[in-house]
């Protein structure tokens, strides 16, 4: 009996030790780690009257999911004329560099789970701009920033522009409204079939994040609504310019609009009811008076 009791005690003790070791090992394996790899930066070295497409391939090697976003700062200067950090990256805080900043292109925000991989893409359309330019790559993953050495490319001088008549006839209907402080909605109805239509923020406040939109196929006569997201620094009514351009550069249209707060349907309804009530009150008072 004592021997059996000793065996039972030994087995229980052994089981507890194993469970504690397993728990310790499990705790170590699920430590939160933000980590990933981007293998290349792909871009066009010589841009000739088309949008510049910049993209990379990201693989999440961490243990937690992250939202990732690609940022490309484009400077109208060669690499050797820009001030760099000790690590060899373009210094974004240098005043001289900021004066040469031509454009900041942002990708869409993409969610990566541990082990997932996908592309991050963004665009810049240098309409009627030429010269040598430098791009600085930054990738935001959760609260970490990954950088790569700057890259150089050239934009050739424009020989011709998209026909104004064609540009003006691209759309039968185009309307833009600001839904809230983070989203706009674009309503389009095309006069012709369009493939790979890009909607790119051309001018927007520095310090804001403004995504692009892409429509693979836009059928003639079909009305669609396209959402575009933005993150303002400090929100304020502001003018925005959008480029509507096909990826091959054949069709181009530019539109400026003002981002401003829209009254909600409830507020409009309330204002309408208040106005009607006010008018009826006036009529009632006049009727009682007579």
pLDDT tens-digit map of 98-112: 999 999 999 999 999
What pLDDT, on a 0 to 100 scale, did the predictor assign at position 7? Answer: 57
Region of residue 88 (left: phi > 0; alpha: psi -120 to 50; beta: else): left
The fraction of the chain above a pLDDT of 70, given in percent, is 78
Backbone CA torsion sign across 247, 125, 214, 34: positive
Q: Is the pLDDT of residue 11 over 80?
A: no
What pLDDT, on a 0 to 100 scale, did the predictor assign at position 12? Answer: 53
Burial profile 103-112: b = 16 or more Cβ within 10 angstroms, e = fewer: bbbbbbebeb
What pLDDT, on a 0 to 100 scale, did the predictor assign at position 273? Answer: 57
**Total length of the chain:** 290
Mean pLDDT for the chain overall: 86
DSSP 158: P
Which range is most confident: 70-74, 158-162, 285-289? 70-74
At which residue do the structure tokens 């792909």 appear? 42
DSSP 157: P
Map out the domains of the chain with their CATH numbers.
Answer: 36-155 (2.60.40.10), 164-259 (2.60.40.10)
Confidence class for position 33, pLDDT limits 50, 70, 90: confident
What pLDDT, on a 0 to 100 scale, did the predictor assign at position 26? Answer: 46
In 164-247, DSSP assigns E strands to 171-178, 183-190, 194-203, 209-210, 213-218, 223-231, 238-246
Burial profile 168-189: b = 16 or more Cβ within 10 angstroms, e = fewer: eebbeebebebeeeeebebebb
**Of 102, 117, 2, nearest to 60 (Cα)?**
117
pLDDT tens-digit map of 228-260: 999 998 888 999 999 999 999 999 999 999 988
Question: What are 47's strand-pairing partners?
Answer: 155
Question: What are 198's strand-pairing partners?
Answer: 214, 245
Confidence class for position 285, pLDDT limits 50, 70, 90: low
Backbone CA torsion sign across 25, 27, 33, 37: positive
The alpha-carbon radius of gyration of the chain (Å, integer) is 28
pLDDT tens-digit map of 37-89: 888 899 999 999 999 999 999 999 988 889 999 999 999 999 999 999 999 99
At which residue do the structure tokens 């040598």 appear? 132
Sheet-wide strand order for 52-60: 36-42, 52-60, 117-124
Q: What is the C-alpha to C-alpha distance for residues 214 and 162, in angstroms, rounded to an integer?
A: 19
Q: Which residue has the higher pLDDT, 273 or 31?
A: 31
Question: What are 218's strand-pairing partners?
Answer: 194
**Of 170, 194, 211, 290, nearest to 246 (Cα)?**
194
């Amino acid at each position: 009996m004592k021997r059996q009791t000793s065996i039972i005690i030994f087995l229980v003790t052994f089981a507890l030790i194993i469970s504690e070791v397993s728990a310790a090992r499990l705790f170590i394996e699920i430590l939160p780690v933000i980590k990933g790899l981007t293998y290349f930066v792909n871009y066009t070295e010589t841009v000739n009257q088309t949008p510049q497409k910049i993209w990379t391939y990201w693989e999440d090697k961490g243990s937690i999911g992250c939202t990732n976003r690609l940022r490309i700062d484009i400077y109208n200067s060669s690499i050797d004329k820009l001030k760099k950090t000790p690590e060899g990256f373009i210094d974004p805080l240098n005043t001289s560099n900021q004066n040469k900043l031509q454009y900041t292109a942002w990708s869409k925000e993409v969610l990566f789970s541990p082990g997932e991989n996908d592309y991050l893409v963004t665009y810049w359309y240098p309409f009627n701009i030429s010269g040598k330019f430098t791009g600085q790559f930054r990738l935001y993953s959760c609260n970490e920033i990954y950088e790569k050495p700057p890259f150089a490319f050239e934009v050739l001088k424009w020989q011709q522009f998209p026909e104004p008549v064609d540009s003006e006839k691209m759309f039968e209907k185009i309307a833009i409204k600001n839904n809230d402080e983070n989203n706009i909605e674009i309503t389009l109805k095309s006069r012709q079939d369009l493939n790979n239509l890009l909607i790119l923020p051309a001018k927007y406040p520095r310090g804001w994040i403004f995504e692009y939109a892409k429509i693979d196929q836009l059928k003639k006569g079909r009305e669609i609504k396209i959402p575009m997201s933005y993150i303002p620094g400090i929100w304020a009514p502001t003018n925005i310019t959008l480029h509507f351009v096909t990826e091959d550069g054949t069709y181009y249209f530019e539109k400026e609009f003002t981002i401003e707060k829209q009254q909600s349907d409830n507020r409009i309804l309330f204002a309408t009811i208040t106005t009607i009530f006010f008018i009826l009150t006036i009529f009632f008072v006049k009727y009682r008076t007579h």
